[in-house]
Structure 1
Amino acid sequence: MSPQVRGRTGLRAASAVWLTVQMPLTTAGGGAEETHAAIAVIDDTGTVIGWSRAAEDLLGYRAADVIGRSGAALLTTHDRAARIAAWAHRFGDQEHWSGLTSVLHRDGRAILTQLEGSRLRIRDGTTSWLLAATPFRGGVAAISALEPLIRRSPVAVGVWDADLRCVWLNEMAQRLRRVFPHYQVGRSLAELLPGPEAELAVGAMRAVLADGIPLIDRESRWTTADGRSERTLTTSLFRLEGRDGQALGVCSLAMDITDSPARERLALLRQVSTRVGTTLDVSQTAQELADLAVPVLGDYVTVDLNESVLPNSEVPSRPPVTEAGIPVFRRAGAASIHPGIPESPWARGEVIYVPPTSPFTRVLASGRSHFEPVLDASPGTWVDYDPQRARTIRDAGIHTLIIVPLRARGDILGVTVFIRTENPTPFTLDDLDLAEEFVARAALSLDNALRYTRERTAALALQRNLLPRRLTGGDAVEVASRYLPAGTHEGVGGDWYDAIPLRDGRLALVVGDVTGHGINAAATMGRLRTAVRTLTNLGLPPAELLADLDNVVARMSEQEADTEGIALDAMGATCLYALYDPVTRHCVLATAGHPPPALVAPGGGVTFPRLPPGTPIGLGAGTYESLDLELAAGTLIALYTDGLIETREADLEAGMDRLAAALSPVSLPLDDLCDSVIEAMVADSSEDDVALLLARTRALPER
């Protein structure tokens, strides 16, 4: 049936106005009934010249109220002129168009419709527009019975027209205006304040409008309008389409997840890489893992490492099997919501015995997690064979359990145990998934620490075996020494020292520093020390000895080069060599890129003689010169590596000044003086290896 239109006949070319309705009429049974379109006609001046009874029912205006008046008065008050100009630019040359918009009901309500416009051509050559408004049947306004649910939904729902202008918001979306300033009916996304997140939001909506591909769970961070806080929201977008498939607009769904449990768990996984593995210490890494998991994953969390994977330096002799079970684990980390960790019968570092039939050994054997949402500690279970754990379960109120294997590079390093005591909720499968993901990420850091510790232990053992075990200065000097491996992640280096008595009564003192760290540096140090001892026994003067040593090392590097002539493990080192004659009291010194020695006179004055410069060992083209000094009897010679005097905060000269002060109690016994110097110069964890060799000269009668 054709709609009845009231109006005058002199129709002229028109500009447009969009009419809106909030939702369709429904039958008593709840099904949507067919609704007649509300019809209006406007001329080219924007004046309403036709008004149907359906339009009167829809918007509350009688024909006499609107005919002859500007249709712009029916628009919401925000930017009326801009909206009309945008329509004229977009649809002015089209014969037919459709879209969404908001207009005012007579009682002041803004209502939403799907509006279709058709061009009318008049005999006199002018045109007008026939506008047909029907209740919006997409998304949020589809069924009137759903509107209260959507209005109170915790999800912020917004509807945007094809020009990305906001046309409808539910209550939650209106509350988000302090975060999203564009959440305002009638406001366009083009009016957003500049900023990367605002630009991304506009781009995302335009993409969805253009291609129709929904955007799901896009996370973004927004600063509130007052600038006091930052909120994290997840947003989904989907396109709204008419019956003909034409894009009408976009619906947005947003949730504030700043304080949600899901976000807290996601943040936990993100923190694994920054808060677990801050050092390469096995015990500290295990403790960081446990600390991070409480209370998000459990009220009480332990990290127990398989003894077979622990470095020998960290494990005492293997305890015997007892009635309590097999000594499978060693407690490496533990954390609890309760101070003092009362749930743990074992302290960190202690051996943990477990029954062969316990879930702990099954996890080790199978490599699969143990999930027990309701812990069964009744008689006849494995708990009967573990009375210590049985008491803990009873006293602490442990009621739910997850055991996850610590797996890295195919090896099972141990287990991580998650327990709830105060939290009455049993673990769920979601908790298990989160625990497994958390442990998988943390296990890599723990494996790195274990591998580093193993290599460091091996390198340190090699280093100590290659260093002289008993130094002797013979009749020429009294000697004492100290060696400290680096406490940082670089590990053991190639610092060395030696005191080599010659047959003629002279004594060679040497200190050196091989480039690099680890087993290769320690092995290279051993080779250099052997070469220096061999050349010393030939009776070579210091400068000539360093030149020969340089050539030897260069040839060794050439022999180890690959087929293309590239050194597989290029060797380089600095070295200071001193040859002291106790009869003449002359000391001849030469350096290959090494810091100068400190000489402390019997009266206490400290000097650092300026030696002729020399290139480091290993280049094969070094030239070296010697410096000959006459030393008073009782002079202290201090040879050292740069780890003693150099730090990130201070250069070598500042370190040498500190060393001079540390050597001032020169009258101390040499062993005590070594300890005093190390205590004054080195922090708890040195950044580099430290080697110190002290020698107090003696004067002997002529031979």
Structure 2
Amino acid sequence: MTSQLSPSEPTAPTSRSAPEATLVLDAGSRVVAWSPQAEELLGHRACDILNRPFEELLAGSAAGISGGLQRATGTAFGPCPVALCHRDASVLTGQLSATVLLGADEGRQWLVRLTVNHGRGDPDYHAALFDALLHRAPVALAVYDADLRCVLQNSELQRVSGLADEQRLGRTTSETLSGIEGKAVERRQREVLESGLPRTDEVRGMTPADPSHEHVWADSMFPLRNHHGEVFAVAQAILDITERVHARERLGLVTEVGSRLGNTLDLRQTTLDLACATVPLFADITCVHLLEEVFDGGTPAPGRVSPHSVLRCAAVRPELPCPRPGVAAVCGCGFGPVQQRALSTGATMTSVGERRAADEPGGHSHLYVPIVTRGITLGVVTFARGTTREQFEKDDFLLAEEIVARAAVSIDNARRYSRERATALALQRSLLGHPEAGSSAVDVAASYRPAACELGLGGDWYDVIPLSGARVALVTGDVVGHDLPAAAMMGRLRTAVRTLAELDLEPPELLAHLDDAVRRMDDEQSMSLDSERAYSRDAPTSATQAEGAAGSTCLYAVYDPVSRRCTFASAGHMPPLVLSPSGTAEFADPPVGPPLGLGGPPFESAEVTLPEGTLLVLYTNGLVQQGSGRDLSSGLRQLRLLVSRPQRERTLQEMCRETVDALVPPSPVDDAVLLLARTRALNPDAYATWDISEDPQQVSHMRAMVAEQLERWDLDALQFSTELVVSELVTNVLRYGAQPARLRLIKDRTLICEVSDSSSTSPHLRRARTTDEGGRGLFLVAQLTQAWGTRYSGGGKTIWAEQTLVAKEGQFASL
């Protein structure tokens, strides 16, 4: 035996430290593969052993093992005791076990494992490990040859895959497992064979052992090398990590929802973010239904939701076609009794329906989660999965409830913000009024664009105030801040301007009174803040509260359609733009006083005469100082160009809207106001003026002139009352006034009677006693007219009275 195996060149004896070795036998029990461990164990080199009968390595009666392998019909052989011949003629005892590598009868090969006994009590660790990996290891193992065909699998892989040896051995992955991407696995196997480098990937799919659930495996591939270091096979260690991956995905989904939600206070965008974050990671379809009152910012009643409550679909992903023509915003999951039960009970519900086609809306598994926060139910979220995914399970219930609970807080915040913003904007719109009503002196159009701040409020404002004598006041102002206190301060300033305008003050005098009012407001606010600090030293004070109204700007202009003169006065405001009927646009240059509340030199005014059809452009700095790379100068130039463009039959409102759209960015940092006013001139036939001399006979003469004028205007019904008013006003001038004096009658939307003189003596109304001979003149005027008053100018005063153009029944009954 020894002489038969002796090599042509003797080799040094090798150590017997290796307790285990492997070799491969063909169907005729010839050695076709000899491992380095076998050479170390028995001392024979591969070149001396390959293609030699295996029985030449066996001693004594053990030679019958070779025949037993040839006769074996199963896929495993042994273990059985064996005596092995070493190169140095010694005999080693141990164990032999074999496993079939290729199962075909004509190409059957055996993987033989040899172990030797070192001593009676020494454990065989290598044998135990090899046996455990094949039969008891919790990790699935497989070996694929150079043709990517399976040559070995352990018992764990059989259990996991549900494939016995006869179903897997000799076949590729794609031939045995249709529930996973077999071709992708084979590409990775080929890369390991060619590169000789290990790799680990995640594989998803279903196996015959569990065809109804998707699993995730960690697939580790590593090369197997022969004693020359050449890669001849690839081994795979497969570990089921489904639960770990699902936990990671659930955490990632919650994180994704948390990162998407809360970034906006828009209700529809919040619900849309929820739907987008959960499709397709959690569901194939997500639909969010909200109660009708939630869309309007209302607060639903706490407790159970009434079965008669109206719900609307706020968001659905993916977008689904409408089932019927003309029906909009229809969700594929619909709304039925299960959703209603989830709303009424506040509990998560589920339903499983019939399986549908993959491209059909809806799904075979639904999950209904009510949206509840602070004890209030806002709606319900429906999650649906199609036939290609697993049905919702208990862990999905918990995950869905966690997602919806987070979303509920953001949805409720958006609802409350919608309500507060709608309230604030309604307040501001009401404070701004409706200048389009205007007066007969000008055609007006205005636009207010709020800043893109939390509530969309600001301190920019405008107003159009009818004055006596058919005149009109045009006002724009800017209060510091973009919040509710700024809007409230704007309302106070606008009210103050209207009150002062009713006194018919000259523009510089009006701004002086407004400046005093602002300083008083700031003093009151400072006292209020000091009082609050006295009660709570830790109470926060915002920058806006500290600033108050000081620093606010205002432009006040008065236009007279009779004289066509316009008077401007400015308190630190932007200069008005004047566009003549010929198309020439120039910025007016009135004297600019200090902003309101800061004190300084007195306010001054500038007066210009305007042709009929002149366009006055009043605005705030937010209109011309916003936009990328735009400064004040470039903003003013752009405003002039926009206003000077040919009108092309544009209305004032269209022109106003187009100008604001061109100058104000979509998300402005500052609010902006634009007020356009096109002047009118009163027709000379619509007014008449007479000088009043000191002759007492002028009273009857004035009455006669007025009667003739009313007859020309076809206002005979007002003749009695107008003559009486003229008699009283002219008499007062003759008694208490100073020359020169004149009477003016104006037919506008009302009939206006004005008597002017050079005296500054202020008349006042009083109730005369029955024994008084006089003192009833102004009382009669007040009873016969719609309004009356006095305005002052540098040349004296004017007493005016207005009557409606249609006499009222019973007007003189109380006289």
User: Displacement, 1:402?
Assistant: 1.0
Structure 1 residues 397, 362: closer, same or farther in 2, change over 3 A? closer
Q: Residue 251 of structure 2: which of 261, 266, 279 is its match?
A: 266
- 1:348 and 2:296 are equivalent in the alignment: no
Secondary structure (helix, strand or coil) at the match of 2:611 reads coil
- 1:307 and 2:311 are equivalent in the alignment: no
CA distance in 1, matches of 2:18, 2:473: 100
Which amino acid in the other structure matches residue 662 of structure 1?
L
CA distance in 1, matches of 2:529, 2:298: 35
Q: Deviations over 1:293-312 (max 9, x none)?
A: 11211111100012232316
CA distance in 1, matches of 2:326, 2:347: 25
Structure 1 residues 492, 397: closer, same or farther in 2, change over 3 A? closer
Equivalent residue for 2:103? none
CA distance in 2, matches of 1:622, 1:136: 104
Structure 1 residues 556, 599: closer, same or farther in 2, change over 3 A? farther
- 1:511 and 2:476 are equivalent in the alignment: yes
Secondary structure (helix, strand or coil) at the match of 1:368 reads coil
Contact 1:642 1:690 in 2 (8 A): yes
- 1:444 and 2:409 are equivalent in the alignment: yes
Structure 1 residues 24, 394: closer, same or farther in 2, change over 3 A? closer
Equivalent residue for 1:696? 678
Structure 1 residues 652, 145: closer, same or farther in 2, change over 3 A? farther
Equivalent residue for 1:45? none
CA distance in 2, matches of 1:349, 1:613: 59
Equivalent residue for 1:561? 529
- Alignment TM-score, normalising by the size of structure 2: 0.48
Contact 1:485 1:491 in 2 (8 A): yes
Q: Deviations over 1:319-358 (max 9, x none)?
A: xx9xxx734311100113x7537699974389x9966xx3
Equivalent residue for 1:575? 553
Contact 1:345 1:392 in 2 (8 A): no
User: Displacement, 1:22?
Assistant: 10
User: Displacement, 1:530?
Assistant: 0.6
Equivalent residue for 2:747? none
Q: Residue 456 of structure 2: which of 491, 494, 507 is its match?
A: 491
Contact 2:357 2:387 in 1 (8 A): no
Structure 1 residues 697, 397: closer, same or farther in 2, change over 3 A? closer
- 1:287 and 2:272 are equivalent in the alignment: yes
Q: Deviations over 1:130-177 (max 9, x none)?
A: xxxx9999xx999554456477679xxxxxxxxxxxxxxxxx9xx9xx
Q: Residue 338 of structure 2: which of 359, 367, 371 is its match?
A: 359
- 1:579-658 equivalent positions in 2, closer than 5 A: 579-582=557-560, 585-609=564-588, 616-617=595-596, 621=599, 625-634=603-612, 635-649=614-628, 650-658=630-638
User: Displacement, 1:404?
Assistant: 1.3
Which amino acid in the other structure matches residue 645 of structure 1?
V
Structure 1 residues 486, 524: closer, same or farther in 2, change over 3 A? same
Q: Deviations over 1:32-58 (max 9, x none)?
A: xxxxxxxxxxxxxxxxxxxxxxxx99x
Which amino acid in the other structure matches residue 371 of structure 1?
T
Secondary structure (helix, strand or coil) at the match of 2:519 reads helix
In terms of fraction of residues, the more helix-rich structure is 2
Contact 2:478 2:552 in 1 (8 A): yes
Q: Residue 431 of structure 1: which of 369, 372, 396 is its match?
A: 396
CA distance in 2, matches of 1:626, 1:366: 71
Which amino acid in the other structure matches residue 340 of structure 1?
P
CA distance in 2, matches of 1:653, 1:662: 14
Contact 1:403 1:418 in 2 (8 A): yes
CA distance in 2, matches of 1:23, 1:594: 99
- 1:461 and 2:461 are equivalent in the alignment: no
Equivalent residue for 1:196? none
Structure 1 residues 266, 646: closer, same or farther in 2, change over 3 A? farther
- 1:481 and 2:446 are equivalent in the alignment: yes
Alpha carbon RMSD of aligned pairs, Å? 5.0
Contact 1:546 1:624 in 2 (8 A): no
CA distance in 2, matches of 1:255, 1:588: 86
Which amino acid in the other structure matches residue 642 of structure 2?
A
Q: Which protein has greater RCO, CA pairs closer than 8 Å, 6+ apart?
A: 1
Equivalent residue for 1:534? 499
Structure 1 residues 472, 306: closer, same or farther in 2, change over 3 A? closer
Contact 1:480 1:693 in 2 (8 A): yes
Secondary structure (helix, strand or coil) at the match of 1:296 reads coil
Q: Residue 399 of structure 1: which of 349, 364, 373 is its match?
A: 364
Contact 1:512 1:594 in 2 (8 A): yes
User: Displacement, 1:553?
Assistant: 2.8
Contact 2:443 2:678 in 1 (8 A): yes
Of structures 1 and 2, the larger Rg is shown by 2
- Alignment TM-score, normalising by the size of structure 1: 0.55
Secondary structure (helix, strand or coil) at the match of 1:663 reads helix
Equivalent residue for 2:641? 661
Contact 1:141 1:147 in 2 (8 A): no
Secondary structure (helix, strand or coil) at the match of 1:561 reads helix
Q: Deviations over 1:607-648 (max 9, x none)?
A: 33456555554x554666435142422332111233433434
CA distance in 1, matches of 2:635, 2:362: 57
Q: Deviations over 1:540-593 (max 9, x none)?
A: 533414422421331342353242378674533733222324266554434444
Secondary structure (helix, strand or coil) at the match of 2:637 reads helix
Contact 1:300 1:334 in 2 (8 A): yes
User: Displacement, 1:438?
Assistant: 2.0
Structure 1 residues 506, 554: closer, same or farther in 2, change over 3 A? farther
CA distance in 2, matches of 1:581, 1:466: 23
Equivalent residue for 2:656? 674
Structure 1 residues 312, 440: closer, same or farther in 2, change over 3 A? closer
Structure 1 residues 369, 314: closer, same or farther in 2, change over 3 A? closer
- 1:501 and 2:466 are equivalent in the alignment: yes
Contact 1:553 1:620 in 2 (8 A): no
- 1:544 and 2:489 are equivalent in the alignment: no
User: Displacement, 1:276?
Assistant: 3.7
- 1:368 and 2:347 are equivalent in the alignment: yes
Which amino acid in the other structure matches residue 398 of structure 2?
D
Contact 2:371 2:377 in 1 (8 A): yes
CA distance in 2, matches of 1:303, 1:344: 22
Structure 1 residues 421, 483: closer, same or farther in 2, change over 3 A? same
**Could you tell which deviates more after superposition, 587-596 or 145-154?**
145-154
